[in-house]
Amino acid sequence: MQYQLSFNRIFPILLSLIIILWIYLNYKLMIADVWDETNFLLYFYSTPQTLFEKIKFIWTSSDLGNIYRPLPISLAILIIEPINNYELAWKVLRWTNVLLLLASLLFLLAALHKWGIKNYQKLIFSIFFLYSSAAIISASWFANMFDVSTVFFISLGIFLISLQQYIIAALVLSLSFFCKEISVLLIPFLFILVLNTKLDFRQFTRMCLIIVTIAGIYWYLRLSYIPLGSEQDIHGFSTIQLLPTLQAYFESFWWQTMKRDGMSLLGFIWLLVSLLALKGFINKAALIVLMMLSAIMYLGMFSYQNDVLMSHLNFVGRLYLVPMVLSLLMLIMWGRTSLFVILLMPVLWGAQQTYTNHRNFQIVYHQIYDLAQNSSDKLTIHYPEKPLNDHIRKIEIGDYPQACFSIGMKTLKYKQCK
């Protein structure tokens, strides 16, 4: 009892240190805007539209990256509207992701406190939440604002449920659908709360009526602008990809990175540990269902990276963010902590890989921006995977095999030009 009281006194200090270190690590990753960050800023600073016209375009069009996730994009535009500094804008948006993730964590910790979770368990939950590959890449690449916003609204909604503010919670949870399609996971998660007596079935039914109604509005708009599985849709949803996606997703769930040659038995062992840690057959089955739904939503988006650094797989950790948070809540509330802690090994290992890779990835683009700044002519670079026409920095990236510079597997390469 005395030990518990002593730990409770130092809990705020330990939590503050964990958060401060995480903020510092994200500060060190503020190196260069890359890929979709750059494209978003180019759109914003090049479009001769008023703020109202930009917001209207976002809510009534599918032309922005073949996605319909209007709420976080609108928020991003509102945030950088008064910022005329290109270099400052991407940093402000990344810090917005950092703050939204921290707010999400605090909402969830408050909910766990209301539900009687002990402080040492909340500390473990915080480490899992912040020091995961999913959180690292989501905070340090503002194009992940979709996943981050989804987690924010789900976390706030769960906090309101713990306060028994069910109607407000339903309205807040509904907003997550306008952030990303993966929000479909929240309804089965609410049912899991019912099965574990954290939510009354009658309140669950009332909440679902609100959520399904608002989610239905979202899906109507989404399908009106982007038909599911069409050429416009960023997701192919091909059933041929189901088994490979399930295998890769289940194996990599706790690593949250694809920086390997292929599937390993160890990845499935970590998944088994998480199932063994959960108490009760229903919770074990619920976790599997939750993960299968996630994999179906992410059909065809997982492949192994091998030694390739300069790839879209640099950002793959974001796909695990929402399902990871919901899984962590299940494990901390209804799991055996002694087994649960074992999963810190793959989580921290994956986070370290993602941190290092994302740092090196950005360094390559920082070198490109430095070259462009010191050049009087347009800088042309061979890299077909991610074309870029940056008229602000005067950089052209694409299929240019005769260019003096090219982006290789890991570095920026230079060849002698005639």
Q: pLDDT tens across 241-282, in order? A: 888 889 999 999 999 999 888 888 999 999 999 999 999 999
Token representation of residue 27: 């500060």
Q: pLDDT tens across 6-53, in order? A: 778 899 999 999 999 999 999 999 999 999 999 999 988 888 888 899
Bridge partners of residue 21, in order along the sequence: none
C-alpha to C-alpha distance for 144 and 320, rounded to whole angstroms:
11
The pairing of strands 379-382 and 395-398 is parallel
* pLDDT confidence of residue 352: 97
Token representation of residue 220: 């109507």
Greater model confidence, 344 or 67: 344
* pLDDT confidence of residue 79: 95
* pLDDT confidence of residue 263: 84
* pLDDT confidence of residue 61: 79
Q: Which of 105-114, 234-243, 375-384 has the lowest mean pLDDT?
A: 234-243
CA dist list (Å): 317 to 94, 127, 173: 16, 16, 23
Q: Is the pLDDT of residue 127 over 70?
A: yes
Summarize the confidence of residues 352-380 as an average pLDDT: 94
* pLDDT confidence of residue 94: 98
One-letter amino acid identity for 85?
N
Bridge partners of residue 388, in order along the sequence: 397
Q: pLDDT tens across 166-211, in order? A: 999 999 999 999 999 999 999 999 999 999 999 999 999 999 999 9
Region class of 82: left (phi > 0), else alpha (psi between -120 and 50), else beta = alpha
Q: pLDDT tens across 102-118, in order? A: 999 999 999 999 999 99
How sure is the predictor about 359, in pLDDT bands with cuts at 50, 70 and 90? very high
Q: pLDDT tens across 306-354, in order? A: 888 899 999 999 999 999 999 999 999 999 999 999 999 999 999 999 9
* pLDDT confidence of residue 1: 57
* pLDDT confidence of residue 301: 87
How sure is the predictor about 235, in pLDDT bands with cuts at 50, 70 and 90? low
- In this structure, which long-range contacts are made by residues 71-75, counting pairs with CB atoms below 8 Å and at least 24 apart in sequence? 71/149, 71/175, 71/178, 71/179, 72/145, 72/146, 72/148, 72/149, 72/179, 73/145, 75/145, 75/149
Q: Is the pLDDT of residue 2 over 60?
A: no
* pLDDT confidence of residue 114: 97
| Mean pLDDT over the full length of the chain | 92
* pLDDT confidence of residue 47: 81
Share above pLDDT 90 across residues of the chain, in percent, rounded to a whole number = 77
- Count other Cβ atoms within 10 Å, centred on residue 337: 13
* pLDDT confidence of residue 318: 95
* pLDDT confidence of residue 216: 96
Summarize the confidence of residues 61-68 as an average pLDDT: 74
Q: pLDDT tens across 146-170, in order? A: 999 999 999 999 999 999 999 999 9
Q: Is the pLDDT of residue 234 over 80?
A: no
Q: Is the pLDDT of residue 233 over 90?
A: no
Name residues whose C-beta falls within 8 Å of residue 382's C-beta, 6 or more positions apart in sequence: 397, 398, 399, 400, 401, 402, 403, 405, 406, 407
